[in-house]
Amino acid sequence: MTAQSIETIATEATAPQHGAELIVPLNRLKASPKNARKTPHSPATIEAFAASIKAKGVLQPPVVEIERNDEGAPTGNYLVTIGEGRRQGLRLLAKRKTIKRTHPVRVIVDAENDAHEISLDENMTREAMHPADQFEAFQRLAVEKGYGPEEIGARFGVSAHVVRQRLRLGSAVPELMAAYRAGTLALDQLTAFCVSEDQDRQRQVLEQVGPHTPAYAIRRAMTEAKVSVGDRRVRFVGVENYEAAGGPVLRDLEKVCSKLRVRTRIEAVAVAVRAGVIEPD
């Protein structure tokens, strides 16, 4: 169906019919009071919507209800029944002047179903992607598209640091991913295995440990052949000199949190950046 502009609709005697596809200016889209989701989207979620829309456009058109005045006549505005997160992502882009307030948005009119019910249906019947699928999808973007952490982060509204963590998890051996998907391996255990990108070592340790082995024990087994930064040999050579000579350095944020004795992960990241242990994003 060819999308109609709101300017054309406004000159017609009848309101848009059920299922009509329209092009509506962003500033004519309003939040629906019938939306079943009463807890607002988090700023991070809206940021992710905005990043996705900026990179790829609105992939799924919002579903709208015609707004009517007290006499039952259309006001020219539309209430977003499904897609409020996308509307807010668009509004964030408009606030940043990435797009205009009148940016054209393709929408679908629902004039038959109860707006509250379909809003509830849309929020209840969807199932979130398993984290393992996301880890592997990010890895595929990096390998097949050549995207770096910054590019992937910009396209999905997350930091480059988060992307690097997910890329490392996405490069785990298939056996680990299968166990994680099956629920026999927890995320902290998977993270411990991925402290090293040596897949042969991952398989070796996987064969040695049981499903109830705590993450710290897995991490210790994965790094038992490594030399701690506190070792006198490391202090003699110097980490920077070792890296400059091409030597690999294994950095583990979980260990940074422990050794620096900080209260929160956010504080750990801040301290680690200041110490030069990890790069700032």
Q: Where are the domains of the chain?
A: 4-124, 227-281
pLDDT for position 241: 55
**CB neighbours of residue 144 within 10 Å:** 8
Q: Nearest Cα to 149, choosing from 134, 168, 164?
A: 164
pTM above 0.75, yes or no: no
pLDDT for position 230: 53
pLDDT for position 246: 54
Q: Which two tokens stand for residue 180?
A: 């994680």
Q: What is the CB-side half-sphere exposure of residue 156 using CA atoms within 13 A?
A: 18
pLDDT for position 128: 85
CATH fold for the domain made of 4-124: 3.90.1530
Q: Tens digit of pLDDT for each residue in 59-82?
A: 999 999 999 999 989 999 999 999
Q: What are the residue ranges in the chain where pLDDT is below 50?
A: 1-2, 7-13, 226-229, 231, 233-234, 236-237, 242, 247-249, 252-266, 268, 271, 273, 275-281
List Cβ<8 Å contacts ≥24 apart for 164-168: 165/253, 166/134, 166/135, 166/138, 166/139, 167/135, 167/138, 167/139, 167/142, 168/194, 168/197
β-strand partners of 37: none
